[in-house]
Amino acid sequence: MMSTFFAEPKTRHKIRLINPRSALSTITIPKVIQTMTFSRKALFMPLNLAICASLVPQDWDVEIYDECAEDAPHTPIADCDLVGIGAMTTQSTRAYELADQYRKLGVKVILGGIHPSALPDEASQHADVVAIGEAEATLPHIFNDYLNNELKSRYDWREYPSAPIATPRKDLLDPKKYLVFNPIQTTRGCPHNCSFCTTPAIFGRKFRQRSIDDIVEEIRHAKETFGSKVFIFSDDNFAGNRKWAIELCNKLIPLNIKWASQCEILISESDELLTAMRNSGCIGLILGLESVSPNTLKDAGKKFVSADTYTWRIKKINSYNISLWGAFIFGFDHDNWQTCRDTCRFAQRADLSMACFPILTPYPGTEMFKRYESQGRILTRDWTKYNGSTVVFQPENFSIQELRHAQMSAFHEFYHPRSAFKRLKLLPFKKHAWIANIASYLGLWFYFNHKNRHLPQFADFQNPYAPAWNYHEKIAMPSVDD
Ligand code: B12
Ligand code: SF4
């Protein structure tokens, strides 16, 4: 009746995008970590959802709920037309829970991101729509089909023309909640094909670059709006295309920023690239090194570099005043405690500023997962345990306990103050590296002391009476589920 006198209020469609809770991106306890991270709630803002939000039709309402940055878990309410949930493997269990709850309320659910892309059949048990691959290619079709009542149960990005990497809608998120609020994605994918890595397995080996003008504009905007001066480039391999990387770096110089990213170690072969990187403000790089054992590198499918060249390559990159973080992995079939020890010793000798030693995790979709599954070696499909600190497969040369002992020994020995002093030296004073090293060591020290446990070391492997071996069945090492 009202409509005879007043125009009917136009009902706007609404989509809610949800980032499911994950222990690995939420900053919770202890207090000391909260203080050091300026009481931020989460490590990174959910770039995937900010990108999805930018693809929503302009006449829709869009909201992002990031469970990692909120105190309370999300309570589903049927006040929207669509819900989109993104998930890495560790987030997928919570993603499915939320999806089930929304569907019970009659709201249609889209599941996307790395894990649903790897296991679309599993995801489709919890969703109306599974979006495989990049949202830039699938989401516009999903909205269109929804409005035409022709929604399909699956959208695969390989079936649509590829779309340019979108600029995220960061305006929908609160910068005060995140330690890293301005991650910038400059590229997608990686030209290599390591057997454990999700990136080539899910997104293929085609290396894609974003428009340089868009990148420059996003950085300029972040500088103006948030005063950001230091940026993380959220790439798998920043310099997968060297010529393009040089071009980008040269365009970054006038912005006068500092930045860090992940990169392949082969950049050591190009002085032109290293010079451009340094001049554009590169201060740090994470290098995926995995191991110094040639057989282990074979297991990892890391064919593009040989470990005996690591030393000169690291020295060369360091000489450009770029700090290096070595990313290693323990638990490949040719690994044993000695190869893990050698890798840790190498990281110390090479003067890496930081290092991490996660346990090998065969992520769904990878060649490694398929192989271990066919060999009956996958021990659990509890995806919350796919976190790099839990052993989810049967290792070849270790017991589960030994593998975790090797991991913790490496962390302990690498971050021990003696080792930090040797690697970082006092001058020139590397403030950030020192803070990170001390915090890592204190974190371990507090953990083991609090549990009244001996701090693991590689020497324990030769000592049958070492207290570390008194744990019996109980797994002794810290993990996010411990
Ligand atoms: C930055 C980063 C982090 C940050 C922040 C992650 C975050 N967003 O919260 C931190 C340091 C916290 C982190 C932690 C971890 N990470 Co991480 N990380 C990355 C990195 C380098 C970039 C992530 C990113 O921003 N990508 C950009 C976005 C746009 O890409 P995307 O998420 O794939 O999204 C696209 C599509 O998937 C899709 N999509 C995504 N969500 C949705 C939702 C809907 C509805 C739709 C339609 C589509 C869609 O569209 C998007 C745009 O095209 C990636 C590498 C990579 N290639 O992504 C690894 C990566 C995601 N991380 C990985 C891993 C293993 C981890 C850890 C387990 C490591 C560890 N042991 O601690 C933890 C787990 C954290 C967690 N939340 O559970 C793996 C994931 C493997 C897997 N199967 O889950 C990756 C792929 C690295 C790799 N090459 O193996 N990580
Ligand atoms: S080089 Fe790094 S990003 Fe590329 S496939 Fe290997 S592990 Fe993945």
* 3-state helix, strand and coil shares in percent for the chain, rounded to the nearest 5: 45, 15, 40
Q: Which ligand is nearest to the CA of 261?
A: 1
pLDDT at 454: 86
Which residues have C-beta within 8 Å of that of residue 106, sequence separation ≥ 6?
78
State the distance from the centre of ligand 2 to the C-alpha of 299, rounded, in angstroms: 14
Residue 72 to residue 193: CA distance in whole angstroms: 39
Q: How confident is the model at residue 33 (pLDDT cuts 50, 70, 90)?
A: low
State the distance from the centre of ligand 1 to the C-alpha of 199, rounded, in angstroms: 10
Which residues have C-beta within 8 Å of that of residue 431, sequence separation ≥ 6?
none
State the distance from the centre of ligand 1 to the C-alpha of 426, rounded, in angstroms: 35
The mean pLDDT of 420-436, rounded to a whole number, is 92
User: For ligand 1, is residue 131 a contact (CB within 6 Å)?
Assistant: yes
pLDDT at 469: 54
Please say whether the beta carbons of 200 and 189 come within 8 A: yes
State the distance from the centre of ligand 2 to the C-alpha of 192, rounded, in angstroms: 6
Which residues have C-beta within 8 Å of that of residue 349, sequence separation ≥ 6?
311
| CB neighbourhood size of 271 (10 A) | 10
pLDDT at 3: 42
pLDDT at 480 over 70: no
- At position 76, the amino acid (one-letter code) is P
pLDDT at 183: 96
Q: Which ranges in 29-157 belong to alpha helices (H)?
A: 31-36, 47-54, 92-104, 114-118, 120-124, 135-147
How many angstroms separate the Cα of 50 from the Cα of each of 158, 200, 268, 364? 22, 23, 34, 25
Mean pLDDT, all residues of the chain: 92
The mean pLDDT of 360-381, rounded to a whole number, is 98
Which residue among 114, 185, 188, 192 is best mutated to probe the pocket of ligand 2, counting the most ligand atoms within 8 A of its Cβ?
A: 192
State the distance from the centre of ligand 2 to the C-alpha of 326, rounded, in angstroms: 13
User: For ligand 1, is residue 67 a contact (CB within 6 Å)?
Assistant: no
User: For ligand 1, is residue 387 a contact (CB within 6 Å)?
Assistant: yes
Which residues have C-beta within 8 Å of that of residue 286, sequence separation ≥ 6?
260, 261, 262, 263, 324, 325, 327
User: For ligand 1, is residue 203 a contact (CB within 6 Å)?
Assistant: no
Mean pLDDT is lowest, of 176-180, 296-300, 305-309, 374-378, for 176-180
CB burial class (10 A; 0-12, 13-18, 19+) of residue 255? middle
Which residue among 185, 188, 193, 197 is best mutated to probe the pocket of ligand 2, counting the most ligand atoms within 8 A of its Cβ?
A: 197
Identify which of 480, 471, 411, 405 has the alpha carbon closest to the alpha carbon of residue 445. Answer: 411
Share of the chain above pLDDT 70, in %: 91
pLDDT at 410 over 50: yes
Report pTM: 0.94
Closest residue (by CA) to atom 19 of ligand 1?
234
Q: How confident is the model at residue 245 (pLDDT cuts 50, 70, 90)?
A: very high
- At position 278, the amino acid (one-letter code) is R
State the distance from the centre of ligand 2 to the C-alpha of 301, rounded, in angstroms: 10
Beta strands in 280-379 (DSSP E): 282-290, 323-328, 354-356
Residue 392 to residue 284: CA distance in whole angstroms: 31
Q: How confident is the model at residue 177 (pLDDT cuts 50, 70, 90)?
A: very high
User: For ligand 1, is residue 51 a contact (CB within 6 Å)?
Assistant: yes
Closest residue (by CA) to atom 1 of ligand 2?
192
pLDDT tens for 466-478 read 765 544 334 344 4
pLDDT at 24: 73
The mean pLDDT of 53-81, rounded to a whole number, is 96
pLDDT at 384 over 60: yes
Identify which of 460, 482, 473 has the alpha carbon closest to the alpha carbon of residue 405. Answer: 460
CA of 288, closest atom in ligand 2: 2
pLDDT at 29 over 90: no
Q: Which long-range contacts (CB under 8 A, 24 or more apart) does 278-281 make?
A: 278/320, 278/321, 278/322, 279/249, 279/250, 279/253, 280/248, 280/249, 280/250, 280/252, 280/253, 281/252, 281/253, 281/255, 281/256, 281/257
Looking at the DSSP bridge assignments, the partners of residue 108 are 82
Domains of the chain listed by start with CATH number: 13-159 (3.40.50.280), 182-462 (3.20.20.70)
pLDDT tens for 83-133 read 999 999 999 999 999 999 999 999 999 999 999 999 999 999 999 999 999
The mean pLDDT of 221-244, rounded to a whole number, is 96
Residues with CB under 6 A from ligand 2: 190, 192-194, 197, 199-200, 236-237, 264, 288
The tokens describing 22, both together, are 């994950």
Which residue among 202, 236, 287, 356 is best mutated to probe the pocket of ligand 2, counting the most ligand atoms within 8 A of its Cβ?
A: 236
Please say whether the beta carbons of 91 and 64 come within 8 A: no
pLDDT tens for 257-297 read 999 999 999 999 999 999 999 999 999 999 999 999 999 99
User: For ligand 1, is residue 344 a contact (CB within 6 Å)?
Assistant: no
Higher local confidence (pLDDT), 30 or 366: 366
The mean pLDDT of 171-175, rounded to a whole number, is 96
The tokens describing 393, both together, are 């497969």
CA of 236, closest atom in ligand 2: 3
Phi, psi of 118 (to 5 degrees): -80, -35
Q: Which ligand is nearest to the CA of 20?
A: 1
